[in-house]
Amino acid sequence: MPSSRDRFPELYQTLLVPLIFEPYTADLASRVAEFRPSNVLEVAAGTGAATRAMARVLPTKAKLVATDLNQPMLDRAATVGTDRPVEWRQADALHLPFGDATFDVVVCQFGVMFFPDVARAFAEARRVLRPGGALLFSVWDRIEENEFAQAVTEALAQIFPSDPPRFLERTPHGYHDPKVISRDLLAAGFGTLPHIATLAARSRAAAPTVPAIAYCQGTPVRTEIVERSSAGLAEATEVCAAAISRRFGAGAVDGKIQAHLVSIQA
């Protein structure tokens, strides 16, 4: 039987990507294409949701390099494939293995929240950008604007009231303040304030079990649950599914998601 580590890229691709990432990929790709870039670098590409969208809209002559720290995620991305050639490469966003002034655009969809030093990652992006090049990235807004994530977090707090799992609130939804984002970009050496657009979308699934499994088993929430109860993962997932069902219905479910799209030029 595959381990949870082995199954993570599959759960991520089959559940999380359509649930919360795909509603934003086309918008991000179109913004990248507006710069008419010749060389694009993606960091924290995951299983390639944004990569595939960019591959569809960028001209074939534009070079697209997609990187991630996690090689199994890149392997899953390459297996899914793209409509045109993409260079998949393992790389740390804080120590990019590329020369100065190499790329026209650096892009990151929902990855910067996980960087241990966000300003350092921004500085690396600026270093590899050509003068006038652009950094584009998206981050989730606060958890209260993302209904399935909030429902799961609240349900888990009922199961573990003395020590509730807070990964979703702390990390993916913990880097949403425009002032903090602007401060980190300035610290990284960008000389202007970023443009920040707040975009609401809809997260849809065929049943309440889909977002429950996606969040409880396809993210580090799984680790937080297992640390608190080694036998409680299935029960916690069921409780979260029931909470989503009560709030959004027992059939197909539809919840609000909201994110910030940030762009700034070097």
pLDDT value at position 2? 41
**pLDDT at site 1:** 33
State which amino acid sits at residue 159. I
pLDDT exceeds 80 at position 104: yes
What would the mean pLDDT of 219-232 be, rounded to a whole number?
90
Whether the per-residue pLDDT at 132 is higher than 70: the answer is yes
Q: What is the CA radius of gyration of the chain?
A: 18
| Both structure tokens of 207 | 């049943």
Instruction: Report pLDDT digits (tens) over 151-178.
Output: 999 999 999 999 999 999 999 999 999 9
- Residue 253: both structure tokens together: 């479910």
Per-residue tokens: 81:
């494939």
| pTM as predicted | 0.94
Yes or no: say if 41 and 106 are a contact pair by the CB < 8 Å rule: yes
Residues forming a β-bridge with 39: 63
Whether 187 shows a pLDDT value over 90: the answer reads: yes
- Assign residue 196 the CATH number of its domain: 3.40.50.150
Angle at 179 between CA 175 and CA 185, to 5 degrees: 80
Q: Cα separation of 215 and 232, whole Å?
A: 15
DSSP assignment of 26-83: HHHHHHHHTT--SEEEESS-TTSHHHHHHHHHS-TTSEEEEEES-HHHHHHHHHH--S
The model's confidence at residue 5, banded by pLDDT at 50, 70 and 90, is low
Mean pLDDT of the chain: 95
Domain extent, residue 252, equals: 4-265
Q: What is the pLDDT of residue 6?
A: 58
pLDDT at 244: 98
Q: How many CB atoms lie within 10 A of CB 64?
A: 24
The per-residue pLDDT for 229 is 84
- Name the strand (E) or helix (H) holding 109: strand 103-109
pLDDT at 230 over 80: no
Tally of structural domains, the chain:
1
Residue 102, SS3?
Answer: coil
pLDDT digits (tens, 9 = 90+) for 14-65: 999 999 999 999 999 999 999 999 999 999 999 999 999 999 999 999 999 9
Residue in the structure block whose two tokens are 């999380």: 16
Q: How many CB atoms lie within 10 A of CB 20?
A: 25
Q: For residue 196, name the pLDDT band (cuts at 50, 70, 90).
A: very high
Pairing outcome for strands 87-90 and 63-68: parallel
The reported pLDDT for the residue numbered 40 is 98
Residues 218, 200: Cα–Cα separation, whole Å: 23
pLDDT at 3: 43
Token pair listed for 151: 């429902």
